[in-house]
Amino acid sequence: MRKNVKISLLILFLLVPSLKARAISWTLDGKVWSSPYQDERVYLSQLAITLKPHDHWQTTLSLPIQYTHSPRTQDLECLYPRVGIAWSVPLSDTVTSRVRLNYQFNPRKLAVQGGLETLHDPIALGVTLSYQTRTLALAGSVVFAANERWALGAHLHYSNNSLLTYKINHTSKRGKQRQFSYCHSLDGSLQSLGLKITF
């Protein structure tokens, strides 16, 4: 556990000063996963930094921590850092193509995502195809902007165990973003509550 913390902090503090990014943002993300069939709960939180050296691509480094609680066990674990690289290419005034690579250090996993997003104010639609560990997944999303600060979204991740997520997004006057989410699997075996803050 201590080794993972040292590796994560070292990568984080070496990476930030070396890149001349146009924009840097921090994200604190927390989720609580549970199942109606089990007494175990999993608390997953992560601190992420996103650097945007160019208008069309950005890189993200996240440091996840997982806490598992059940009547029999209580376990706190600092997981290995994860890295993501994303590209976005505008195809027209309303359509944007997106590609993202996510890499997890241990166990080693590489995920590839690609999709399209179209914006017709106040509605944004998106579709994504992803591949990870010999598994293909299809995702679709619809987001409705109620006004400049509030937006509502629904996201369906279709795979072996499909997930449906509802999100409420809020942007403050100073630009701080908050996201509240509720997610559940379509078979009813998993559900989660989440809060994400970007500043």
pLDDT of residue 18: 53
pTM for this one?
0.88
Beta strands in 38-145 (DSSP E): 41-54, 57-69, 74-78, 82-90, 95-104, 109-120, 123-132, 135-145
Q: What is the pLDDT of residues 133-183, one digit of tens each?
A: 889 999 999 999 999 999 999 999 998 889 999 999 999 988 899 999 999
Question: Is 83 part of any domain?
Answer: yes
CA 152 to CA 28: how far, in whole Å? 20
CA 33 to CA 194: how far, in whole Å? 9
Question: Is 61 part of any domain?
Answer: yes
Question: Is 105 part of any domain?
Answer: yes
Task: Indicate the number of domains in the chain.
Answer: 1
Q: What is the pLDDT of residues 23-73, one digit of tens each?
A: 789 999 999 999 999 999 999 999 998 988 888 999 998 989 999 999 888
Question: Is 70 part of any domain?
Answer: yes
Question: Is 199 part of any domain?
Answer: no
DSSP class of 6: H
pLDDT of residue 139: 97
Residue range of the domain that includes 110 = 2-194
pLDDT of residue 10: 57
Question: Is 145 part of any domain?
Answer: yes
Whether residue 132 is predicted with pLDDT greater than 70 in this model: the reply is yes
Whether residue 2 is predicted with pLDDT greater than 90 in this model: the reply is no
CA 157 to CA 108: how far, in whole Å? 22
CATH number at residue 130: 2.40.160.40
